[in-house]
């Protein structure tokens, strides 16, 4: 016998009658009111190519859900794209929209008491926003990765959005002609989908599969491909059975699942942004895991097995052809918690049975990795009592320790101007602060622009950088410590650094140290005053006032 559905109310009751009236007007037959009611979470938008294909995907999914005996309801959320939404609010709307998406979903799904949802995952903030909502609401949920975009060529060479981003900042320092940037921008994107490298979007798509929240073998995937559409149809049938089985996200999002996702990210050298996003999902799901500690603990046991741009020279197309996330998990199988449950209703071990790796040069075995040293390193120290994060990449550095005098900036514009003026010199440790979740707010402030500006100025191997802001998932250049926490805006140690203070970054000891005596720091702290807050109105004001620290994954603080 089918279990009761929370979306059903006694026939003829107030809630039944008014819903029936609304749905009759939408052409939904009365008998369908007893079927499972499923939200299709669609972040469609005409502002960016990342989302431009989702309406077509939703149509295929609707048909599959109806065929499986349920009723689909398409709902919409905000749709942030860093390259579009980052124009306003000094970039602050990008991360802040992640939590807005979570609340968009709660209002629609919980308010209507729908039975489950399928989330169409695209650009990088939509994925964690959807996973956070799944963890919070705990109704049967399946995530469908909607694919990466095709790239182009410029003057006979491959070009993608990463190249446009990097070269546009090189143009700021005069090392690349503006006409070349214009030419690359015309050719970089040849269709819909997310950035084609191992940036935050593809990293988070892989996270969904590693967590067990996406169908096995479905990430990463070319947008609008036949293979992607086959998974969309499979998802439509599977979500209906998940509802009847009452298989919920918190059955899947266990400590073991988070550890598996962390290992997957380390193995592919994924985006550092995946750390805070995974922590945010754990926070929303009330799962007692410290994702930052997991990255520290798993780093020495998890070599880099694949090197897709920007970590290496590999392509996402070759990575997909080699078996994608499923192949990475297969290579990691001996180090994973394979007893965890997944959206298939089977354990990870059962999903991996029979899984093969199509090309073990692209996705390597544990005994023949691309690199033994971790591509992502979590630092701590008197400058980062909580955390700081380094995307070390796979290139072996001449020295894994950097010591130099600080040169401090409170905005990315000031740092870029100093690059133009030659004020930043070899040996400097650039401190760019006021770009954290409260000071930015929302980690806006353009830290990635400064990193690429440094690279364009030819200083990438000669300086280091610290910031309480975050980096684009496409950044893997130079020695940069991001998301230094506590942030400067709340009086974190980064706020107390002065020009010419000596700073040491040590990747081997994982230490970030400011060489200033404690009594001097105490005097500076006594004299410190917070900068006036930016954006003292609207959504960014609400976000700044309520956002938590890195320990929560910078989620919005919820009332007790």
Distances (CA, A) of 531 to 159, 217, 492, 528: 40, 48, 13, 9
For 368, the token pair is 């023949």
> What whole-number distance in Å separates Cα of residue 90 and Cα of residue 445?
6
* Residue boundaries of the structural domains of the chain: 33-150+191-352, 157-190, 376-531
Alpha helices in 361-497 (DSSP H): 412-421, 447-456
pLDDT at 536: 83
Contact yes or no for 303/328 (Cβ under 8 A): no
Q: Which of 122, 472, 485, 552 is catalytic?
A: 472
Placement of tokens 């070390």 in the chain: 392
Superfamily of domain 376-531: IlvD/EDD C-terminal domain-like (3.50.30.80)
Contact yes or no for 305/331 (Cβ under 8 A): yes
81 is catalytic: no
Domain 33-150+191-352 classified CATH 3.40.50.2300? yes
pLDDT at 1: 45
Strands 429-432 and 401-409, sheet pairing? parallel
> What whole-number distance in Å separates Cα of residue 257 and Cα of residue 211?
5
Contact yes or no for 135/253 (Cβ under 8 A): yes
Supply the pTM of this predicted model.
Answer: 0.96
Positions of E strands within 376-442: 376-381, 384-391, 401-409, 429-432
pLDDT at 172: 84
Contact yes or no for 229/60 (Cβ under 8 A): yes
pLDDT at 454: 92
> What whole-number distance in Å separates Cα of residue 309 and Cα of residue 316?
8
pLDDT per residue, tens digit, the chain (560 aa), is 478 999 999 999 999 999 999 999 999 999 898 999 999 999 999 999 999 999 999 999 999 999 999 999 999 999 999 999 989 998 899 999 999 999 999 999 999 999 999 999 999 999 999 999 999 999 999 999 999 999 999 999 999 998 998 899 899 888 899 999 999 999 999 999 999 999 999 999 999 999 999 999 999 999 999 999 999 999 999 999 999 999 999 999 999 999 999 999 999 999 999 999 999 999 999 999 999 999 999 999 999 999 999 989 999 999 999 999 999 999 999 999 999 999 999 999 999 999 999 999 999 999 999 999 999 999 999 999 999 999 988 766 666 899 999 999 999 999 999 999 999 999 999 999 999 999 988 888 688 889 989 988 999 889 999 999 998 877 778 899 999 999 999 999 999 999 999 999 999 999 999 999 999 999 999 999 998 888 888 999 999 999 999 889 999 965 45
Question: What are residue 39's DSSP bridge partners?
Answer: 73, 117
| Class of residue 188 by CB neighbours under 10 A (exposed 0-12, middle 13-18, buried 19+) | buried
pLDDT at 557: 65
């Amino acid at each position: 016998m089918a279990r009761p559905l929370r979306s059903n109310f006694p026939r003829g009751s107030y809630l039944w009658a008014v819903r029936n009236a609304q749905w009759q007007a939408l052409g939904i037959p009365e008998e369908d009111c007893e079927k499972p009611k499923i939200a299709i979470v669609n972040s469609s938008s005409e502002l960016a190519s990342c989302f431009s294909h989702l309406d077509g995907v939703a149509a295929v999914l609707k048909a599959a859900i109806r065929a499986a005996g349920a009723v689909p309801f398409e709902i919409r959320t905000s749709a942030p794209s860093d390259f579009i939404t980052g124009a306003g609010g000094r970039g602050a709307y990008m991360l802040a929209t992640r939590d807005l998406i979570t609340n968009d979903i709660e209002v629609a799904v919980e308010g209507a008491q729908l039975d489950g949802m399928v989330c169409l995952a695209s650009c990088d903030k939509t994925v964690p926003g959807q996973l956070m909502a799944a963890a919070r609401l705990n109704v049967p949920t399946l995530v469908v990765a909607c694919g990466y975009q095709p790239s182009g060529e410029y003057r006979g060479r491959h070009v993608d959005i990463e190249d446009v981003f990097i070269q546009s900042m090189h143009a700021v320092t005069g090392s690349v002609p503006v006409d070349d940037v214009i030419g690359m921008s015309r050719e970089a994107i040849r269709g819909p989908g997310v950035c084609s490298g191992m940036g935050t979007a593809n990293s988070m798509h892989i996270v969904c599969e590693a967590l067990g929240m996406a169908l096995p073998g479905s990430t990463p995937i070319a947008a609008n491909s036949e293979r992607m559409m086959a998974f969309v149809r499979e998802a439509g049938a599977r979500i209906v059975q998940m509802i009847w089985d009452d298989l919920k996200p918190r059955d899947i999002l266990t400590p073991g699942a988070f550890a598996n996702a962390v290992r997957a990210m380390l193995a592919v050298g994924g985006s550092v942004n995946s750390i805070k996003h995974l922590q945010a999902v754990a926070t929303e799901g009330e799962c007692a895991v410290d994702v930052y500690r997991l990255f520290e603990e798993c780093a020495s046991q998890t070599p880099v097995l694949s090197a897709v741009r920007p970590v290496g020279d590999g392509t996402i197309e070759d990575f997909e052809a080699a078996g994608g996330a499923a192949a990475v998990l297969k290579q990691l199988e001996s180090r994973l918690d394979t007893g965890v449950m997944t959206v298939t209703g089977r354990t990870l071990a059962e999903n991996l049975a029979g899984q093969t790796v199509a090309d073990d040069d692209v996705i390597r075995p544990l005994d023949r990795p691309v690199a033994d040293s971790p591509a992502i390193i979590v630092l701590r120290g008197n400058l980062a009592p909580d955390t700081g994060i380094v995307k070390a990449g796979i290139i072996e550095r001449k020295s894994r320790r950097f010591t130099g005098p600080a040169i401090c900036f409170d905005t990315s514009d000031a740092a870029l101007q100093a690059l133009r003026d030659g004020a930043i010199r070899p040996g400097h440790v650039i401190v760019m602060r006021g770009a954290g979740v409260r000071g930015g707010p929302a980690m806006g402030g353009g830290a990635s622009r400064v990193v690429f500006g440094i690279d364009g100025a030819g200083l990438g191997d000669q300086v280091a950088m610290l910031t309480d802001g975050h980096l684009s998932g496409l950044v893997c250049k130079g020695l940069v410590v991001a998301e230094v926490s506590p942030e400067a805006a709340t009086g974190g140690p980064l706020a107390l650094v002065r020009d010419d203070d000596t700073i040491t970054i040590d990747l081997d000891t994982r230490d970030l140290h400011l060489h200033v005596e404690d009594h001097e720091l105490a005097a500076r702290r006594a004299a410190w005053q917070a900068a006036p807050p930016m954006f003292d109105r609207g959504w960014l004001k609400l976000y700044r006032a309520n956002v938590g620290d890195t320990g929560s994954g910078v989620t919005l603080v919820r009332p007790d």
